[in-house]
Amino acid sequence: MSASGAGVCRLPLMLIAAVAGLVACARAPQPLVERVEPRRVDAGPVVPAPRHLPPRVRIVGAPAPFVLGLLGEPSLRRRDPPAEYWRYTFPNCTLDLFLFADGPFAEPRVVYYEFRSTVPVAGAGLNGCHDMRARFDTRQAPEPDEGPSI
């Protein structure tokens, strides 16, 4: 083999050695995403469940003043006319109410509600909403001339 042939064989080896050296000197890659710790969101004050709540209250279709008289002020209230969202935070249970006004001067009425247990594990006796849910009537809204029933 000639001297120029030996140089040609060494060139790829030298190139590989140079690249390997550069890679070895490179810093470890930095993470692309910054870790963010979750923040606690205040759900509002926890209020005791209303003791005076009659059995089998039909809440769907009830006007806002009726709900306020029954449950008091919500722990969270958001308005996005013509809709409103009210949250009642009870021990181990959250009640979400969605109200809607049929017109600009109409009284908002409950169109949907949902109970959410704040107890992380469901099981016998652990659902914080069981007693509250049992006090509400799940039938559809009353006819407009009926008004809310209790």
CB 141 within 8 A of CB 100: no
| C-alpha of 30 from chain center | 32
pLDDT digits (tens, 9 = 90+) for 92-136: 889 999 999 998 889 999 999 999 888 766 555 556 787 788 888
Confidence of residue 16 (pLDDT cuts 50, 70, 90): confident
Among residues of the chain, what percentage have pLDDT more than 90? 30
Give residue limits of the domains in the chain. 57-137
CA distances from 104 to 5, 85, 107, 143 (A): 92, 17, 9, 21
CATH topology of domain 57-137: Beta-lactamase Inhibitory Protein; Chain:B, domain 1 (3.30.1450)
pLDDT for residue 150 is more than 60:
no
